Amino acid sequence: MGSLSREVDERIQEPNLHPKRRPIPAAQRGVAASSTSEQFKTKSSKHKPQARRWHPYISAESANRTGSTLKKAVEHLSNPNTISLGGGIPLSDFFPIDGISLRPSSFDNVETREKTSSQTTLHATKHDIADDTSVYDLSVALNYCPGYGSAQFMRWIIEHTEIVHDPPYADWQCSMTIGNTSAFDMCLRMLTQPGDYILADKYTYSSSVETAMPLGVKFIGVDMDREGMLPDSLDEILEKWNPAEHNNARKPSVLYAIPTGQNPTGTTQSLQRRKAIYRVAQKHDLIILEDDPYYFLQMDEYGSTASEIQSPVEFFKRLVPSYLRLDIDGRVMRMDSFSKVVSPGARLGWITAPAQLIERYKSHSDVSTQSPSGLSQLVFFKLLDEHWGHEGYTRWLMHLRKQYTMRRDFILSACERYLPRQIVSWEPANAGMFQWLKVDWEQHPNAKDKTADLVEEEIWLESISAGALVGRGSWFRSSRDVPCSEVFYRTTFAAAPLPKIEEAIKRFGEAIHKVFELKEKS
C-alpha cells in the first residue's frame, strides 16, 4: 500500500440512502451499553486491505492510557439477568425531566421570520424503550454513556460514513466527539510530544494553533495558492528538514488539513490536489488530521451557470472526495462535526480512523470528556434517524448549499461595490462560510515608515471605529514566529442578515478609503 493505487471515481455512484440496517439488540438499548462500529456497517469489507499499524507514532501519554475501568465493567450488563450495584448509574426516576418535544424547521427562506412552521413534532420520554415506541429514550440519554457515544446514534453515523466516504480499507471505525477542536486536542496528545512541529496551511484555524501551544507543539506553515496547500512546498519542507534549524525537533509526522472551505482563506482543494498531497504524505509517512466541518458547504464557481442541484445523487456527485475516501493506507484521522450544518451548541461530532487509533482515542475520551451530551445525541437521533433519515438529511444539506451559495454571491457583490479594487483583492470562496480579502498594504501613503503588521492594525482599528468587525489575517498565521509580510482579513457571510453584511462591507470599505487616503467612490 505504498502508493495511491486505488483511483477514486470522480462520478460518485448512486448512494444507497436507504441501506438495509443492522438491528440494535435489546441489550444495547440500555444505559451505558457498549457497541462497535463493525456491527453497524452495511457494506462488506472482505475485499479491502487492513490499515497499516501506527504504534511508533503513538505518544507515551497515549500508550500509557488504559481507559476507564468502570466503563469496561459495564460491558457485563449485556446479560439481561445481571443486577448492577457496581456503577454510579442512577435510576431515571431521579431525573426531573419526563419528556421533551422538538419541532424540525421547514426548508423555507431562512432570511424571513414568516416561514411556515413545520407541522411535525417529535417526542421523547423516559419510557419509550419499555413501551417499544423507540430504541432510544430519556432514560438512556440522561444517563452515562460510553465515550464513543450511544449505540442508537452510532448506527446512523456509521451508515452516513459509508454513504459519503466509504473508506477503502477494512478496519475503520468511528467514535463520537464533542466537536472538532476537542478531537484535535486529543489527536495531538496521541501523536505528538513537546517540542514537535506539525504541518498546516500557511494560514490556518487560529484555535488549532492555540490548542497546540500549551502542549509545546508548534505549527509550521506550508505555502498556499487558490486551491490551498501546495504539495511541492509540503514536500520541500520535509525533504530539507534540519532539526538544528527547529530547536532540534524531529521531522514532522502529522499534517493538519482543512481541505474544504478552508478556515480562514475559503480555499478548497481539488481532487487532483488532494491526491498530490496524499502522495507526499505517503512519501514522508505522515498522518493526516482531516478537519472538515465545511465539507457539505461546497458550491459552484462564482459566476458559473451551473444548474441548481435537484437530487441527492447529483449533490453527492458534485462533492470533492475527502481524504478519507482516498485513504488506502489508513493514515487519515477525519474529524466531522454537526457544528456548521446543524448546531454548534450541540457539541456533537465524530472521528473516523483505523481501529488501532480509535481504540487509543476512546481510552482518552473515557477518562476526560467522556461522551457527548446525551440530550444532544437524543435530539439528533430523533431528527436524523427517526425523522429525516439519510435522504432527508441530504436534502437539508442541499438546502444549506443553496443558502450559502446565495450568501457567498451576496458578499462578493458587496465587495465589488464598496471595496477599492486597486487596494483590496480576493478569490471567491468555493465552499464554507468565509471570504478572504487581501490588502495591498504597500500602497499605504506612509508605507516606507510602516510594516505590514502596523498597517493591518491601523485598518482593523479604523474598521472597528466605523462599526465593522473583521478577522485580522495575522490571527491565523501558522508560523507565529515568522514576520508578517502580507495583510489579509477574514470575513464571513454566515453570521448576519444580508442587509447587515452589506453594511459591514460598506463600513470596511470606508475604513480602507480613509486609511489609504482615497476619494470615496460615488
- Domain CATH number, residue 430: 3.90.1150.10
Say if 10 falls within a structural domain.
no
The pLDDT value recorded for residue 310 is 87
258 & 359 share domain: yes
User: pLDDT at position 13, please?
Assistant: 65
Residue 3 pLDDT > 70, yes or no? no
The mean pLDDT value for 407-423 works out to: 97
Q: Is residue 33 part of a domain?
A: yes
Give all strands (DSSP E) within 180-226, no chain letters: 197-201, 218-222, 224-225
Mark whether 317 and 452 lie in a shared domain.
Answer: no
Lowest mean pLDDT among 45-59, 108-122, 152-166, 290-304: 108-122
Its domain, for residue 411, covers 405-515
* Angle, vertex CA 445, rays to CA 441 and CA 449, nearest 5: 80
Whether 394 and 412 map to the same domain: the answer is: no
More confident call, 83 vs 78: 83
pLDDT at 2: 45
Q: For residues 85-91, give the mean pLDDT.
A: 74
- Distance CA(378)–CA(245), nearest Å, equals 51
Question: Grid coordinates standing for 2?
Answer: 505504498
pLDDT at 308: 84
In whole angstroms, give the CA distance from residue 156 to residue 169. 20
Which stretches of 293-444 are DSSP H helices? 312-317, 323-326, 355-365, 374-380, 389-418
- 243 in the same domain as 109: yes
> What confidence tier does 90 reach under pLDDT thresholds 50, 70, 90?
confident
Domain endpoint, select from 338, 366, 399: 399
pLDDT of 512 reads 98
Cell of 53: 499499524
φ and ψ at 23, to 5 degrees? -70, 155
Is 4 inside a domain boundary?
Answer: no
Rounded-to-integer distance, Cα 154 and Cα 162, Å: 12
Q: Are residues 82 and 196 in the same domain?
A: yes
If asked whether residues 267 and 410 sit together in one domain, one would say: no
Taking all residues of the chain, what is their mean pLDDT, rounded to a whole number?
A: 91
- Average pLDDT (312-332) is 96
pLDDT for 154 equals 96
Domain of residue 127, CATH code: 3.40.640.10
Structural domain ending residue among the three candidates 399, 416, 450: 399
Q: What is the CA radius of gyration of the chain?
A: 24
pLDDT value at position 76?
66
Q: How confident is the model at residue 73 (pLDDT cuts 50, 70, 90)?
A: low
- % residues pLDDT > 70 (the chain): 92
Q: Name residue 102's beta-bridge partners.
A: 122
In a domain, 17, yes or no: no
Identify the pLDDT of residue 15. Answer: 85
Buried b / exposed e along 248-274 (16+ C-beta atoms within 10 A) = ebebbbbbbbbbbbbbbbbbbbeeebb
- Tell me, yes or no, if the pTM score tops 0.85: yes
Phi, psi of 295 (to 5 degrees): -55, -40
Say yes or no: 64 and 170 in one domain. Answer: yes
pLDDT tens, residue by residue, 494-507: 999 999 999 999 99
| Nearest alpha-carbon partner for 104 in 393, 313, 403, 316 | 393
Let me know whether 315 and 172 are in one domain: yes
> pLDDT digit string (tens) for 196-236?
999 999 999 999 999 999 999 999 999 999 999 999 999 99
Q: Is 48 exposed, middle or buried (0-12, 13-18, 19+ CB in 10 A)?
A: middle
- For the stretch 131-177, pLDDT in tens is 999 999 999 999 988 888 999 999 999 999 999 999 999 999 999 99
What residues contact residue 58 under an 8 Å CB cut-off, 6+ apart? Answer: 190, 191, 360
* SS3 letters across 36-85: CCHHHCCCCCCCCCCCCCCHHHCCHHHHCCCCCHHHHHHHHHHCCCCCCC
Residue 312 inside a domain? The answer is yes
If you average pLDDT over residues 67-83, what whole number do you get?
68
- pLDDT at 12 (0 to 100): 55
Which percentage of the chain shows pLDDT scores above 90? 76
Residue 7, in any domain of the structure:
no
Task: Answer with the residue of higher pLDDT: 75 or 136.
Answer: 136
Has residue 115 got a pLDDT over 60? Answer: no
Predicted pLDDT of residue 522: 42
Predicted local distance difference test score (pLDDT) of residue 497: 95
The whole-number pLDDT of residue 520 equals 65
Q: Residue 13 domain-assigned?
A: no
Residue 2 domain flag: no
Do 447 and 376 have their domain in common?
no
Q: Residue 7 corresponds to which cell in the numbers above?
A: 483511483
| For range 502-514, the mean pLDDT | 98
324-328, 437-441, 517-521: the lowest-pLDDT one: 517-521
Do residue 434 and residue 372 come from a single domain? no
Structure confidence at residue 74 as a pLDDT band (50, 70, 90): low
pLDDT of residue 106: 79
Higher pLDDT, 89 or 254: 254
**Structural domain count, the chain:** 2
Last residue of a domain, one of 339, 367, 399: 399
pLDDT band at 306 (very low <50, low <70, confident <90, very high): confident
Residues 443 and 385 occupy one common structural domain: no
pLDDT at position 93: 85
The pLDDT tens digits for 30-41 are: 888 888 999 999
pLDDT at 377 over 50: yes
Residues 452, 320 share a domain: no
Does residue 6 surpass a pLDDT of 80?
A: no
510's enclosing H/E stretch is helix 498-515
